[in-house]
């Protein structure tokens, strides 16, 4: 049987390169490539997309929208890493571990890969809404720490090339206008009535994320303790290889945001007491936050083993 043909549109960007590195080592797919000088040409890209069984878009939003029209040939499957289609009709949200999404991804021809901050938020909040523990109108807040590779080539250059300003040596809050591009998917996919008040923070390290939501247990259904909330999440993710829940209190009182850098795993840590809980998702923005999730979705869409080519530890 011939191997599925896969093309990465945006192969020279941060996410594209990461997907390329994962796929280049595999012998169960054929990777189609485009020469560097043709990589933005519409005609050349369309020809390769038409020849491909599956194409990744690792492009800015506007270019991803344009590419979706180019690839609309009735047979090429698409995984879009950008924000362009995450809540769009006709696209499946590519988070296989969340309530029945695995089957939907496996059968989809259009999959939107989750945003990195949204991945951490949803891993914690979406199961609790689905299990009816977290009321849909709960006024959630979320803060999320990320390494600067989350900002793609431009931000990497800002941090790594030439003289950098003093402010780049310290953590920087952003999205303070409360209009971050991940908010729509956070609200819709979690099943919330209100988007979280969300504060992302970028700091002077390359990769790794730590996304935290905070809860007052008294406003949750059944008023579970933090330890009981951990058990609910542990049962929800039972059997999952890429999303796991740490033992209660295992981590002590300090969590580093880069613990899972270099892996495709996401680990949830639940801390707190009878009245207050914090849930933290730690993962790699370039792993489960982008290219790891994209390769997982590709595996499902092509009927390959789900974690093939992924880094589990
Ligand atoms: N970095 C991350 O952690 C994450 C990124 N994403 C998303 O993935 C997508 C890619 O991000 P990222 O890899 O970081 O971005 P980069 O800026 O690192 O890479 C984008 C790539 O797309 C290329 N490109 C731009 N316009 C076009 C076009 N019209 N046709 C073909 N190629 C084009 C760029 O070319 P050139 O090399 O000339 O600049 C570049 O190589 C974005 O939508 C981003 O939001 C999602 C999750 C996490
Ligand atoms: C540090 C930094 O700027 N990070 C990016 C998120 C990267 C990501 O997930 O991007 P997409 O939503 O485009 O997929 C941001 O917060 O906008």
Is there a single domain that holds both residue 256 and residue 137?
yes
In a domain, 312, yes or no: no
Q: What is the pLDDT of residue 72?
A: 94
Decide: 152 in ligand 1 pocket, CB within 6 A: yes
Residue listed under structure tokens 């303790």: 225
* Stated pTM of the model: 0.96
Q: What is the pLDDT of residue 249?
A: 82
Burial class (CB in 10 A: 0-12, 13-18, 19+), 150: buried
Residues of the chain below pLDDT 70: 1
Is there a single domain that holds both residue 273 and residue 216?
yes
Return the residue whose CA atom lies nearest to atom 23 of ligand 1.
10
The number of the ligand 1 atom at minimal distance from the alpha carbon of 11 is 41
Instruction: Report how many domains make up the chain.
Output: 2
Name the packing angle between helices 292-301 and 14-24 (round to 10°): 50
Q: What is the pLDDT of residue 1?
A: 67
Q: What is the pLDDT of residue 56?
A: 98
H or E element in which residue 4 lies: none
Q: How many residues would you count in the chain?
A: 313
Decide: 182 in ligand 2 pocket, CB within 6 A: yes
Q: What is the pLDDT of residue 174?
A: 98
For the four alpha carbons of 89, 64, 100 and 53, in that order, the dihedral sign comes to positive
Q: What is the pLDDT of residue 251?
A: 78
Ligand nearest to the CA of 117: 2
Is there a single domain that holds both residue 47 and residue 156?
no
Is there a single domain that holds both residue 233 and residue 129?
yes
Q: What is the pLDDT of residue 312?
A: 95
Alpha-carbon span 89 to 49, nearest angstrom: 22
In a domain, 306, yes or no: no
Is there a single domain that holds both residue 261 and residue 233?
yes
In a domain, 311, yes or no: no
In a domain, 122, yes or no: yes
In a domain, 313, yes or no: no
Give the sheet arrangement for strand 243-245, strand by strand: 172-173, 197-203, 141-147, 209-216, 276-283, 266-272, 243-245
Is there a single domain that holds both residue 161 and residue 224?
yes
Q: What is the pLDDT of residue 162?
A: 84
What is the CA(244)–ligand 2 centre distance, in A?
23
Decide: 280 in ligand 1 pocket, CB within 6 A: no
In a domain, 223, yes or no: yes
Ligand nearest to the CA of 58: 1
Is there a single domain that holds both residue 219 and residue 232?
yes
In a domain, 194, yes or no: yes
Alpha-carbon span 257 to 282, nearest angstrom: 6
Is there a single domain that holds both residue 180 and residue 52?
no
ipTM: 0.93
Q: What is the pLDDT of residue 250?
A: 83
Is there a single domain that holds both residue 149 and residue 208?
yes
Burial class (CB in 10 A: 0-12, 13-18, 19+), 281: buried
For residue 152, the enclosing domain spans 116-287
**Among this protein's residues, is 116 annotated catalytic?**
yes
Residue listed under structure tokens 């206008």: 177
- The CATH number given to whatever domain includes residue 94 is 3.40.50.720
- The CATH number given to whatever domain includes residue 225 is 3.30.360.10
Is there a single domain that holds both residue 11 and residue 97?
yes
H or E element in which residue 283 lies: strand 276-283
In a domain, 227, yes or no: yes
The number of the ligand 2 atom at minimal distance from the alpha carbon of 146 is 1
Is there a single domain that holds both residue 221 and residue 231?
yes
Is there a single domain that holds both residue 75 and residue 203?
no
What is the CA(121)–ligand 2 centre distance, in A?
13
Decide: 153 in ligand 1 pocket, CB within 6 A: yes
Q: What is the pLDDT of residue 100?
A: 84
């Amino acid at each position: 049987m011939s191997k599925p043909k896969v093309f990465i549109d945006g192969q020279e960007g941060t996410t594209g390169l990461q997907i390329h590195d994962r796929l280049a080592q595999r012998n169960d797919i054929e990777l189609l490539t485009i020469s560097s000088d043709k990589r933005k040409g519409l005609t050349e890209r369309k020809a390769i997309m038409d020849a491909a069984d599956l194409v990744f878009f690792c492009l800015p939003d506007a270019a991803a929208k344009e590419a979706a029209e180019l690839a609309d040939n009735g047979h090429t499957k698409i995984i879009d890493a950008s924000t362009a289609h995450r809540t769009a009709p006709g696209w499946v949200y590519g988070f296989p571990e969340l309530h029945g999404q695995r089957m939907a991804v496996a059968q989809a021809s259009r999959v939107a890969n989750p945003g990195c901050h949204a991945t951490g938020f949803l891993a914690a909040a979406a199961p609790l809404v689905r299990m009816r523990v977290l009321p849909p109108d709960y006024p959630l807040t979320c803060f999320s720490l990320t390494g600067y590779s989350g900002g793609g080539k431009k931000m990497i250059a800002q941090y790594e090339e030439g003289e950098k300003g003093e402010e780049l040596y310290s953590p920087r809050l952003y999205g303070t206008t409360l209009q971050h591009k991940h908010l729509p998917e956070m609200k819709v996919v979690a099943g919330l009535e209100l988007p979280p008040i969300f504060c992302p923070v970028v700091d002077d390290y390359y990769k790794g994320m730590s996304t935290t939501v905070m809860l007052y247990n008294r406003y949750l259904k059944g008023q579970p303790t933090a330890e009981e909330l951990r058990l609910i999440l542990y049962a929800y993710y039972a059997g999952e290889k890429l999303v796991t829940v740490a033992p209660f209190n295992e981590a002590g009182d300090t969590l580093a945001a880069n613990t899972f850098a270099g892996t495709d795993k996401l680990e949830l840590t639940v801390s707190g007491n009878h009245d207050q809980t914090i849930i933290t998702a730690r993962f790699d923005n370039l792993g489960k936050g982008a290219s790891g999730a994209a390769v997982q979705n590709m595996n499902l869409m092509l009927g390959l083993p789900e974690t093939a080519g992924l880094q589990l530890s």
